[in-house]
Amino acid sequence: MPFLRPFLRPSLRFAQHPDSQPSWRSSSARDLALWAGLVALGLGLTVLAVRVGARVGVASPPFTGRYRLKLDLGSLLAPVIAIGALLAINRGIGQRLPWRAVLLAGFLLAFSWAIALALVDGGNGLAQPLDLPRSYLHDVPMVGNDPIGFLRRYVSAAPTLSIDSRQHPPGAVLLLWALGRLGLHSPEVLGVLITAVGALSVPLVAVAVRSLCHEPAARALVPVLALAPYAVWLAVSLDAVTLTICAAAVACGVLGSEPRRSPWWAAAAGLLIGVGALFSYSVAWLGTSILVVYFVRRRPLLNVVSGAASLVPVGLARMAGFVWPDGLTAAQADFSLRVGPHRSWALWAMLDVLLVLIAAGPTIVPAARKIRLTPGWPFLVGAALAVLFAIVSGLSRGEVERSFLPFFPWLLVAAVAPEPGPAPRGAVASPVLLIAVGAATAVILQAVLRTAW
């Protein structure tokens, strides 16, 4: 299929040089110390806020869920996968595999890692997040045989919907309804399928980074994303579907900005952003990254193509009866009534930043430090704007560990930018120490936290 060829191009050849992988040990140690210090400070302030009776509004700040301790035989699977992957990374296997194999390995690692984390809770770990009363799955019967009617009454029926549906457009419910029509009703099967879709984000992000940066950086980024702590919330989460839709949109936009590419790539990017907007009200910000890439590569007219295409899904939904701005207004009103009085904006502005630090892992520190050293800086624009807007507007007072899933990978792109200095750029080393600590963070979180999803 010609459309898929750019995703599967043969590996670019680059020379291995004894000095091409500069020592990450000292810089990684400093980055890890800074990350640990910031996390410790944030957790300390969280404990203090609870002690003084601040309006936290959740039982297990800064997370939504409850604390517990879960250690049994199933808890060993995730550490075994992480150790095996880290040994392979440390031996540089990812630098020697063909490009197609790197993409496949990234998907398989991300999928197995997320599933292993979910299986800490046994089979319930794959089913319960979808089977909770607050989940989209409980709204599927309301669709019945009339999805158009469901769209038409979605906003007016918001008070009767689950909490998840009230805070999102109807895309997730309609997806589950469509899967049910295909015979996929079991929460366990749906959980595995959703996790597999979320894991596809790793190769998609890698394709985008390869195009805008270079292949060695994309290869080094794959394990950073595959073993990231946010995999705890990627498993069995409909936000993981949104993550992959948006990753595909950005990848199509970046590939479409390459010289002599067909405008159909830009149209696909816009369509996917529009589809993503029917799953989440905040992901439209990622379109800013595509816009910046078009200007960086001097193809600004592609903004017209992507912009027009992005209106198609939203326009079709409007014709069917769902008015996107009205849905956003209803979600904001519900949030203000249900959450606003119980959670302090100032406190949660700090806690949201803490959640980003924990969910992204210690690689977010070098990513912030080296943003000027990577041509991938446009990826940060949309993700950073979305996160900043959500925090400043007060619309994200908790629960960002899953609602920010579409943005986490792009915040980490600069982590594999080369260190300043004369070392050649023939190869880029993955920050193994930081990846290992991030994986350990995910294992600890899954053992001590029962998430709400």
What was the pLDDT predicted at 14?
33
- Euclidean distance between CA atoms 382 and 63, whole angstroms: 24
What was the pLDDT predicted at 4?
42
Q: Is the pLDDT of residue 398 over 90?
A: no
**DSSP characters for 149-210?**
HHHHHTTTTGGGS-HHHHTS-THHHHHHHHHHHTT---HHHHHHHHHHHHHTHHHHHHHHHH
Backbone angles phi, psi at 122, to 5 degrees: 70, -155
Q: Is the pLDDT of residue 5 over 80?
A: no
The gap between the terminal CA atoms of the chain, to the nearest Å, is 37
Structure tokens at 173: 């419910």
Lowest-pLDDT choice from 23-32, 92-101, 151-160: 23-32
Residue with tokens 């992480």, as numbered in its chain: 82
Confidence of residue 244 (pLDDT cuts 50, 70, 90): very high
- Euclidean distance between CA atoms 397 and 360, whole angstroms: 18
Residue with tokens 């035989």, as numbered in its chain: 73
Per the CB < 8 A criterion, the answer to whether 431 and 416 are in contact is yes
What confidence tens digit (pLDDT) does each residue in 164-173 have? 999 899 999 9
Confidence of residue 393 (pLDDT cuts 50, 70, 90): confident
- Euclidean distance between CA atoms 155 and 330, whole angstroms: 7
Confidence of residue 3 (pLDDT cuts 50, 70, 90): very low
What confidence tens digit (pLDDT) does each residue in 129-155 have? 787 778 899 999 999 999 999 999 999
Per the CB < 8 A criterion, the answer to whether 391 and 349 are in contact is yes
Q: Is the pLDDT of residue 320 over 80?
A: yes
Question: Could you tell me which residues are beta bridge partners of residue 450?
Answer: 66
Q: What is the length of the chain?
A: 453
Confidence of residue 11 (pLDDT cuts 50, 70, 90): very low
Asked if residue 133 has a cis previous peptide bond (ω within 30° of 0), the answer is no
Task: Over range 359-374, report the average pLDDT.
Answer: 94
> In 3D, which of 1, 46, 4, 5 has the Cα closest to residue 351?
46
Pairing of strands 449-451, 65-67: antiparallel
What was the pLDDT predicted at 279?
96
- What mean pLDDT value characterizes the chain? 89
